[in-house]
Amino acid sequence: MGSGSERQLDVRVIPPRDKHPAIFATFDALAPGERFVLVNDHDPLPLRYQFQYEREGAFEWEYLESGPVVWRVAIGRV
Amino acid sequence: MRLGISSAAAPDLPLVELVRACRRRGLSALQLEAGHTHGVVGAARVGHGTGGGPGNALADTPLARTAARVREQGVELVGFRVSHLGDVERSGVLLLSASLRAPLVAPAATAAGSDAILAAADACHGAGARLLIAHGSNATQAAALRRVAEEAPSGSVALAWDVSPLAGDLEGDAAAVLDAAGDALHLIRLAGGGPESAGEEGRGVGALMARLALERWDGAIVLAPSTTRYLRAWSAWLGRRGGWGCGSKAEPAPLRLLAQPEATS
């Protein structure tokens, strides 16, 4: 498939219960130093808490866009 | 990757309202389908007196100006879908694609064979238009269409995948379809999503999106109702902002990624 400049995971189209598994599967497939951009329709704070609990010290979190319609967060694997 | 809608999500809305709906939902892609009320129809001919070559003339058409205004709103027209491949070679349709800078999308099932696709591709190439051939969730079909696309004039033909999670399209060999289409896949029309998302839990959409993300896929995904029965729900969904929650309170099973082809050196 055609390659863009960054990995972008748009979870807005993913059913609610499947979102976090898709996000963690994407994260876990990254090599250290790589990142993807999460696109969501609300602030993914619960996700951030889950990352802090389940991947403590292994991730980086940077807001690229903070609403009011779209949130974009760069999630990197340390 | 851009996420958007097909005009099938609101077939009675004019273009300006479709664009507003995209902006309201933070969507950046819009596919128009022939026969809907959006108001975008084929141009009879390119206007005269604009100076310069054909390229300049195309840029000065009402269709081109419309497309430019849509882009200024942060929405890209990612396709104009016709119901039959034979519609592609009508001059008005070709000019429409070239003026909008949006590819024509035609169902592979309406092609009499690869020669018909190549003939349509030649017509598109000559008019400055592009063609996406829409296939289903069949890896053999996708591979065959990819070979046809590779035979066509460079850049004139690519693939679009019509996928329906509720029909189980992603529960079988979705990875094989992606492998077969490869770099030729530019557009995915996903039947469902939006207000129908909750009903698609466990149907493979998450695995699909994860693989597209990991491969840095930069095509467009447009959502369309899985059935006209849900049009009212789509109308309500398009009329407001907000999501359906992140499901953080659920305890779902880990997701298995769609297998990616092994790299060859």
What is the SS3 assignment for A2?
coil
pLDDT, residue B259, reads 73
Give a three-class secondary structure readout of A33-74: CCEEEEEECCCCHHHHHHHHHHCCCCEEEEEEEECCCCEEEE
CB nearest B206 (choices: A18, A42, A46)? A18
Residue whose entry in the numeric block shows the structure tokens 């029909």: B167
Q: Which residues of A are less than 8 Å from B201 in CB distance?
A: 15-18
The span from the CA of A20 to the CA of B206, in Å, is: 9
pLDDT, residue B89, reads 87
Instruction: Decide which of B12 and B257 is more confident.
Output: B12
pLDDT, residue B5, reads 98
Q: How far is CA A5 from CA A64, B1, B5, B78, B262, in A?
A: 15, 10, 23, 19, 21
B243, B195 Cβ separation under 8 angstroms: no
pLDDT, residue B191, reads 96
Question: pLDDT of B243-260, one tens digit each?
Answer: 545 554 444 566 777 776
pLDDT, residue B198, reads 86
User: Does B172 score more than 90 pLDDT?
Assistant: no
Q: Which residues of B are less than 8 Å from A13 in CB distance?
A: 3, 190, 193-194, 197, 205, 209, 221, 223
Both tokens of B149, joined, read 């696309």
- Chain A residue closest in CA terms to B216: A7
pLDDT, residue B48, reads 38
The span from the CA of B219 to the CA of B9, in Å, is: 20
Between residues 169 and 188 of chain B, which touch chain A (CB distance below 8 Å)? 178, 181-183, 185-186
B241, A69 Cβ separation under 8 angstroms: yes
Instruction: Decide which of B27 and B202 is more confident.
Output: B27
Q: How far is CA A76 from CA B64, B130, B257, in A?
A: 40, 37, 18
Q: Are strands A71-77 and B131-135 parallel, antiparallel or unpaired?
A: unpaired
Interface ipTM: 0.95
CB contact under 8 A, A15 and B200: yes
pLDDT, residue B46, reads 47
CB contact under 8 A, B215 and A10: no
Q: How many CA atoms lie within 13 A of B70 on its CB side?
A: 30
Range with the poorest average pLDDT among A42-51, B48-57, B151-160: B48-57
CB nearest A22 (choices: B3, B209, B242)? B209
Q: Which residues of A are less than 8 Å from B243 in CB distance?
A: 12, 40-42
Angle at B56 between CA B53 and CA B61, to 5 degrees: 130
Question: pLDDT of B192-202, one tens digit each?
Answer: 999 999 888 88
Q: Which residues of B are less than 8 Å from A65 in CB distance?
A: none
**pLDDT-derived band of residue B140, with 50, 70 and 90 as boundaries?**
very high
- Chain B residue closest in CA terms to A6: B216
pLDDT, residue B50, reads 37
Q: How many CA atoms lie within 13 A of B222 on its CB side?
A: 29
User: Does B136 score more than 90 pLDDT?
Assistant: yes
Say how far residue B83 (Cα) sits from the centre of its chain: 14
pLDDT, residue B251, reads 46
pLDDT, residue A34, reads 97
**pLDDT-derived band of residue B18, with 50, 70 and 90 as boundaries?**
very high
CB contact under 8 A, B207 and A22: yes
Q: How many CB atoms lie within 10 A of CB B49?
A: 6
CB contact under 8 A, A14 and B190: no
Between residues 3 and 22 of chain B, which touch chain A (CB distance below 8 Å)? 3
Instruction: Decide which of B228 and B247 is more confident.
Output: B228
Tell me whether A51 touches chain B (CB under 8 Å).
no
Q: What is the pTM of this model?
A: 0.90
- Chain B residue closest in CA terms to A42: B243
pLDDT, residue B146, reads 97
Percent of the residues in chain B that have a pLDDT greater than 70, as a whole number: 86
Q: Is B155 exposed, middle or buried (0-12, 13-18, 19+ CB in 10 A)?
A: exposed
What would you report as the CA-atom Rg of chain A, rounded to the nearest whole angstrom? 12
Q: Which residues of A are less than 8 Å from B244 in CB distance?
A: 16
Which residues of chain A, if any, have pLDDT below 70? 1-4
CB contact under 8 A, A13 and B185: no
CB contact under 8 A, B246 and A22: no
Q: How many CB atoms lie within 10 A of CB A49?
A: 11
Residue B183 amino acid letter: D
- Sign of the Cα torsion B167, B4, B187, B202 reads negative
Q: In Å, how far is B10's CA from the nearest CA of chain A?
A: 17
Mean pLDDT of chain B: 88
CB contact under 8 A, B182 and A29: no
- Give, to the nearest 10 degrees, the angle between helix B114-127 and helix B139-151: 50
Between residues 3 and 22 of chain A, which touch chain B (CB distance below 8 Å)? 3-22
Range with the poorest average pLDDT among A41-45, B7-11, B88-92, B229-233: B88-92
